Amino acid sequence: MIDAPGTNPPRFPDSLRAQARDTIRDRLSQEVQRTKGDIVAIASGARGGDLLFHDVCEELKLEHRLYLPPDRFRHESVSPAGRIWENQFDKLVNSYPSVPYLSQSGELPLWLSVERDYMVGNI
pLDDT of residue 122: 40
Rounded mean pLDDT for each run of 10 residues along the chain, 123 residues in total: 87 92 96 93 92 96 87 84 92 87 66 62 41
Q: All domains of the chain, ordered by start, with CATH?
A: 1-123 (3.40.50)
pLDDT of residue 73: 82
40-75: buried (b, 16+ CB within 10 Å) or exposed (e) per residue?
ebebbbbbbbbbbbbbbbeeeebebebebbeeebbe
Using only C-alpha atoms, the chain has a radius of gyration, in whole angstroms, of 15
pLDDT of residue 30: 96
> Is this prediction's pTM over 0.85?
no
Element holding 73 (H helix, E strand): helix 73-77
pLDDT of residue 71: 67
